[in-house]
Amino acid sequence: MKGQQKQTISGIFLDPMKKIISPTNLTGVAEFVLLGLTNHPDLQVLLFIVFLLVYTVIMVGNMLIFFLILVDPSLQTPMYFFLKVLSFLDVCYSSVTLPKMLVNFLSEDKRISYIGCAGQMFFLLFLGASECFLLAAMAYDRYVAICKPLMYMAIMNEKVCLSLTVLSWFLGNLVSLVQTVWVFTLPFCGSKINYFFCDIPPLIKLSCIDTSSYETQAFTATFLVIFVPFSLILVSYILIISNILKMATVEGRQKAFSTCSSHLLVVTLYYGSGSLIYLKPKSIYSQDSNKVLALMYTTITPMLNPMIYSLRNKEISEAMKRMVNKAMNKKILFHGT
């Protein structure tokens, strides 16, 4: 018995990922049940249709932005490089939760395997944290473009842009790995998750032990992931606004504000909903309100991002017009021949 206990404990600390793959060491839970957004059967089909449309808009909108920036020569600048990466992250991010949620709307079997749940949490946290850091990199890009325009291309060269992107992914992966490992080393006394995906707050509620220290660790990690990038964004925009107000022409100020407004709107939506979930005190924790907020950053924000950037950006709009005109000309030539 002692030998078995020693082997289990050493397995947790020496090989934490093995613990995730083999969950029966400390808990008999081998799978979970995602209860979803609602338990009303009459709403399932309606919700399926609504979120299928939402997912379609997310995929089409973000992939359109991604390929538009990829092929249009006029959009080969640092700002659009980051926007291309953001679109890619939004496609992946929404694909972690929405397909499973759509299946669950029409299926009575709402189970997800232990490994599947761990994988879903890992990729959700990885992509979400990466996006937090990427938005900070985008704010720095706007700061350099507006405050140091003559040095912009020298500072924000291809190497710097790629390095900032890789750094955001590395930090996102690090945060996600640590959070996922410690959550899935907890013993669980239940398998029903009152949520539509595997996330830290609802899983902690299933634990058999006192999770105060875990919750403190999670709060600290989330605070750093949200607060540090947001602080960098805030400092960048204080300097940007200060510089804009010094501009001599009204036209110059309007152009600068227009360039930054899209990014600010995305930052507000993303950081706002994330903060209200992960930094909210346990005393006012509400599963239903958290579901609504989770929908905001997992579905609504990825859906709105392409609209925000395309509607408020003349260069994107013009690139879309050129792409449509080119496609129409090809179609006319094809039918003409």
Which of 247-251, 300-304, 319-323 has the least mean pLDDT? 247-251
pLDDT tens-digit profile of 7-24?
A: 333 333 334 444 444 444
Task: Please give the residue that has the higher pLDDT: either 127 or 246.
Answer: 127
23 is a domain residue: no
Rounded to an integer, the average pLDDT of 80-90 is 92
Q: Decide if 229 contacts 164 (C-beta within 8 A).
A: no
Q: Specify the DSSP class assigned to residue 172.
A: H
Nearest to 83 by CA among 66, 63, 67, 68: 66
Sign of dihedral through CA atoms 73, 75, 77, 82? negative
How far apart are the C-alpha atoms of 229 and 185, rounded to whole Å?
Answer: 29
Task: Please give the residue that has the higher pLDDT: either 256 or 150.
Answer: 150
pLDDT tens-digit profile of 95-110?
A: 999 999 999 998 888 8
Q: Above 80 in pLDDT, residue 333?
A: no
How far apart are the C-alpha atoms of 302 and 87, rounded to whole Å?
Answer: 8
Count other C-beta atoms under 10 Å from residue 5's C-beta: 10
Which of 196-200, 253-257, 283-287 has the least mean pLDDT? 283-287
Q: How many CA atoms lie within 13 A of 211 on its CB side?
A: 22
Radius of gyration of the chain (CA): 23
115 is a domain residue: yes
Whole-model pTM over 0.85: no
Between the ranges 157-171, 173-187, 204-218, 255-269, where is the mean pLDDT highest? 157-171
190 is a domain residue: yes
Describe the crossing of helices 314-336 and 301-311 by its angle, rounded to 10 degrees.
80
Any idea what the CATH number is for the domain that residue 164 is in? 1.20.1070.10
172 is a domain residue: yes
Task: Please give the residue that has the higher pLDDT: either 89 or 274.
Answer: 89
Number of domains the chain contains? 1
Helix segments in the chain, DSSP class H: 2-14, 16-21, 41-71, 78-106, 114-147, 152-155, 158-183, 200-204, 212-245, 250-278, 287-295, 301-311, 314-336
pLDDT tens-digit profile of 25-70?
A: 445 678 899 988 877 878 889 999 999 999 999 999 999 999 989 9
Rounded to an integer, the average pLDDT of 318-334 is 73
Residue-level pLDDT at 62: 92
CA dihedral 308, 87, 179, 23 (to 10 degrees): 120
How far apart are the C-alpha atoms of 113 and 29, rounded to whole Å?
Answer: 9
16 is a domain residue: no
Q: Decide if 114 contacts 30 (C-beta within 8 A).
A: yes
Which of 54-63, 118-127, 290-299 has the least mean pLDDT? 290-299
283 is a domain residue: yes
Residue-level pLDDT at 108: 84
Q: Above 70 in pLDDT, residue 336?
A: no
Q: Above 50 in pLDDT, residue 121?
A: yes
55 is a domain residue: yes
Residue-level pLDDT at 292: 79
Nearest to 181 by CA among 210, 205, 203, 206: 203
Q: Above 80 in pLDDT, residue 209?
A: yes
How far apart are the C-alpha atoms of 240 and 140, rounded to whole Å?
Answer: 10
Strand partners, 99: none
Range of the domain at 46: 30-336
pLDDT tens-digit profile of 219-244?
A: 788 788 888 888 888 898 888 888 88
Enter the tokens of residue 233: 């964004």
Q: Above 90 in pLDDT, residue 85?
A: yes
Enter the tokens of residue 100: 């499973």
83 is a domain residue: yes
